[in-house]
A and B are shown apart, each in its own frame.
Chain A
Amino acid sequence: MFSYILRRLVTGLVTLFGISVISFFIIQLVPGDPAQIQTSQIADAAVSERVYQQLRELYGLDKPIPVQYANWVGKLVVGDFGSSFHDGRRVSAKIGEALWPTLSVALLSFMLTLIISTPIGIYSALRQGGGFDRSVSTGLYMLYSVPNYVAGMLLILYLGVKWDLLPFRGMRSDGYDEMTTLGQMWDLAQHYVLITFCFTFGNLAYYSRFIRQNLLEVVRQDYIRTARAKGLGERSVVLKHAFTNSLIPLISLIGLTLPFVLGGSVILEYMFNWPGLGRLYFESVLQRDYPTIMALNFITALLVLGITFIADLTYGLVDPRISYEK
């Protein structure tokens, strides 16, 4: 077990290193560095050139790329992502601000997905091929094929504009500060509805199908026949013996999807004017804000690796048959 964890940590570090090197060099190869973008408005060519050189020096862009990379890693080791090239603020502060809007929607949508799709999955598996199973799985399949930003556009058009039921721009209405606490909460909740729905509905089909499929596979196992044979009630067989065992693959599915949900969605956040990580990334790319892009790439990669690692470990905890010794 210990050697397994060690091995995973080492390979994880190597991968992380590879990711940071690749993204660093990719970003540096981009024509149009931040200094150039920021000086493009200056009309006087001589002034523009002078400011350009000064900015490059300020950002450290005049040094060779490997030196820049070494500097970046050196700061990263002490937990410093540097300052934004765009507005000079700390990158960690910018990310900290954008983190909660994205994280709250992600967690909310994730919880909703599990709460809704688990009963659907179980019920469909029990009544396999029945009316409920077929109609729900067809319906969810259609939903699954609706891209989330397409749904977002339609919801904004109908619920937001035509029927004027829900807000769809940002997290708060104008005049949020003058509202009572209760009013603020109600306002915030309303703003969450559409974007959370867009993040949730696609996963619904995926998760309920997944739960149904796994349960069907488990139900065919011998130990379920044993449980039935010894006279256990159907309820106990399904919930206690079958469902708990069908959860194991779910862990890896969660491990696979969670990091990407946490990364936010560029289009959805941009569409709903949501001040989250996806929009921050999009804006940073437009502004060639290298430190922010690097930090976001690094954090996402860390999340992907970390969560898959945790998922793999949890696998071993819930399923004693899995051994880490090789």
Chain B
Amino acid sequence: MATEATTNTTTAGAPAARSYWHITWRRFRGHRLGMVGLCVVAVLFLVAFLSPILANEQPILCRFDGGIYYPAVVDLVHQVPGTSLIIQKQRPYRLATFDFKREFDPERGDWALWTPVRYGPREIAAEPLAGPSSRHWLGTDQSGRDVLSRMVHGTVVSMKVGFLSMGIAVILGLVFGCIAGYAGGIADLVISRFIEVVQCFPAFFLILAVLAWFPPSIENVMIVIGLTRWVGIARFARGEILRIRETDYALAARSLGVRPAQLVLRHLLPNALAPVLVSVTFGIAVSILIEAGLSWLGFGVQPPDASWGTILRSGYENLFTAGHMIPPACVAIFLAVLSFNLVGDTLRDVIDPRLQAERA
């Protein structure tokens, strides 16, 4: 409520009213650590999205046997679902058996603009378990695949799991939280009890039990994490709705004859979103952690696909011969968790004006 008040006072003189999110963003920019966290998140996101043109066994742009090709760019476009119907790789690059590096012949006039890391995440490129070298900066794994390339492509898994699983959790959490908070009565009782039941299981146990009968894959991991993480958000949303329901503006809207569904969606929910956003940010960090852990245990991403967790696992299985795989994966997981935590903490400080006053 105090936020609402400050919004009004700051906008009193200004011709254009600044939105709540605009003000939040301005405050957020003042926090150095939060901005650092946000930048790291942005970099991770970029690395994930650009992974096909960062690490690929096929070049970004090349001339081969007289024709010009751009296979890695097509891979990049294919990251957007549905685009494979519109654009496809040209003939030789589409074939699984085609190895451009072997066919490459400079005397014929072939040239290529390679990706920064010249190896694909599944490409068997060198001796297995080789240490870091000038060709393979982070060495190779037990099958001779480039670890750096696998790290880059592992970022995709982490980001996807982080955002999509929390997306599922947010939708479920908001729906149930709003129903419980606004409807009250029996609906509230049933939902609250159910939330309590789910919270009594340690999340990891629950996820493990559920995954025991879903075939392990990244999609199932996302769904299961989403299905187990929504309860926290639902509790948050319920509490916020309960609080906001009693405010004057909710009463005003009600007395103007706004129907319940509209009241919740238009007037209550937008004001409950800020605290939910904070818990979502922390939730992304937790999901990334759970995914890496599950992949480590063999329940998540399956070989030969790469994830930070599976890289860590290969390191664990070859502890005495190839420890070089462990530190990079550890650093990546740590950075991802730390940056999402920093963003979450800053958001919380920024959104809660009481803490703001305390700091000043």
Contact = CB atoms under 8 A, between A and B. Distances in A.
Contacts of B210: 26
A271 B316 contact: yes
Contact of A147 (B316, B319, B320, B334): B334
Interface string A257-296: 0011001011100110000000001100110100001001
A27 B200 contact: no
A304 interface: yes
A27 B209 contact: yes
B212 A157 contact: no
Interface string A139-173: 00110111101100110110011100000000000
Interface string A179-208: 000000000000000000000000000000
Interface string B312-328: 10011001100100110
A10 to B, nearest CB: 12
B196 A15 contact: yes
Interface string A13-28: 0110011001100110
Contact of B197 (A15, A162, A266, A281): A15
Contact of B201 (A147, A153, A300): A300
Contacts of B330: 150, 153-154
Contacts of B202: 259-260, 263, 300
A18 B323 contact: no
Contacts of A157: 315, 319, 323, 326-327
A258 to B, nearest CB: 12
Given A14-B193, A15-B200, A156 B319 contact: yes
Contacts of A260: 202
A22 B205 contact: no
Contacts of B316: 153, 156, 271
Interface string A289-326: 00001001100110011000000000000000000000
A31 interface: yes
Interface in B202-246: 202, 204-205, 208-210, 212-213
A30 interface: yes
Given A15-B196, A19-B200, A285 B320 contact: no
Contacts of B327: 154, 157
A74 interface: no
B209 A285 contact: yes
Q: How large is the interface on A (under 10, 10 to 19, 20 to 34, 35 or more residues)?
A: 35 or more
A29 B213 CA distance: 8
B254 to A, nearest CB: 27
Contacts of B319: 156-157, 160-161
A66 interface: no
Contact of A263 (B193, B196, B197, B205): B205
Contacts of B53: none
Contacts of B193: 14-15, 18
Contacts of A60: none
A272 to B, nearest CB: 11
B212 A161 contact: no
B43 to A, nearest CB: 17
Given A154-B330, A157-B319, A161-B319, A281 B200 contact: no
Contacts of A15: 193, 196-197, 200
B208 A285 contact: yes
Contacts of A150: 312, 330, 333-334
Given A147-B289, A157-B327, A259-B202, 12 more contacts: A15-B200, A30-B213, A142-B338, A145-B285, A150-B330, A150-B333, A153-B316, A153-B329, A160-B319, A161-B323, A266-B204, A297-B201
25 contacts: A15-B196, A15-B200, A18-B193, A22-B197, A30-B213, A31-B213, A144-B341, A147-B293, A149-B293, A154-B327, A157-B319, A157-B323, A161-B319, A161-B320, A162-B323, A266-B208, A266-B297, A267-B204, A267-B293, A267-B296, A267-B297, A286-B212, A293-B209, A297-B209, A301-B201
Interface of B: 193-194, 196-197, 199-202, 204-205, 208-210, 212-213, 285, 289, 292-293, 296-297, 312, 315-316, 319-320, 323, 326-327, 329-330, 333-334, 337-338, 341
Interface of A: 14-15, 18-19, 22-23, 26-27, 29-32, 141-142, 144-147, 149-150, 153-154, 156-157, 160-162, 259-260, 263, 265-267, 270-271, 281-282, 285-286, 288, 293, 296-297, 300-301, 304-305
- List 9 A-B pairs, minimum CB-CB distance, nearest first: A30-B213, A145-B338, A301-B200, A18-B197, A150-B330, A304-B200, A285-B212, A157-B323, A263-B202
